[in-house]
Amino acid sequence: MDTIPFAIVGFDLDGTLLDTSRDLGVALNHALGTIGRPPVPDEQVRGLIGGGSGLMLRRALALTGGDEGIDFEALRQVLVAFYGENIAHHTALFPGGEEMLGDLAGMGVKLAVVTNKPHGLAVRLFDALGLSDRFASVIGGGTYPLKPDPAALHAMVDACGGGRAAFVGDTTFDTGAARAAAMPCVAVSFGFVDAPADQLGADAVIDHFDALIPALRTL
């Protein structure tokens, strides 16, 4: 069978389509260094990602001494500015992503992204990786309430011209938004999961992108 029962497939960005952990970790540790905090080890950074830059930074501050006396918003801006200038040194699609996007596009499926990453950074990252033309819509943080609010997922469907949609993500922010939008959801176990993958509340869980299209056919 060469089709799936969806006109639109939307994706989260960080930890779902792209492994951004190393570039985010470098930016996070740069910001922490400006206030004399120790760096967060690489193996711990993945567990801090999810919910936007502010939540990642708050988690890192909690690990390294708390946030008392910290100008949090100024520090977050330091993080975001550094990340924006160093956004794609290590970031890449997860294994199988290139083929999966091509296969979905070949079926006539419209591809979209809804991320809590600020919209400008999401666009800059896709431009840097040469992926921007793959997506009919990219919706980043700053225009709609952050996931798990479903507003951005509804906007994604509208931007793609309507039709049945599914969403793919890696955290409870994603599955919660999909559930609130009454949209089938697939979770990826290889992302920055904030709970065991089979406990995220998704309709299906995959361990590699070569399993996504078969999973979508079952929903």
Q: Which residues are catalytic?
A: 12
Whether 156 and 112 have beta carbons less than 8 Å apart is answered as yes
Q: Is the peptide bond before 148 cis (omega within 30 degrees of 0)?
A: yes
Looking at 17-118, list the stretches that DSSP marks H as alpha helix, in order from N- to C-terminal side: 21-33, 42-45, 53-64, 72-85, 97-106
Taking the CA atoms of residue 14, residue 138, residue 28 and residue 51 in that order, the dihedral angle to the nearest 10 degrees is -70
In sequence order, the β-bridge partners of residue 187 are 169, 205
Residue 114 is inside which H or E element, if any?
strand 110-118
Measured between alpha carbons, how far is 61 from 30 in angstroms, rounded to an integer?
13
Write out the H or E segment, with its range, that includes residue 122. Answer: helix 119-129
Dist CA 142 CA 124 (whole Å): 15
- For residue 205, list its beta bridge partners: 187
Residues 6+ apart with CB under 8 A from 196: none
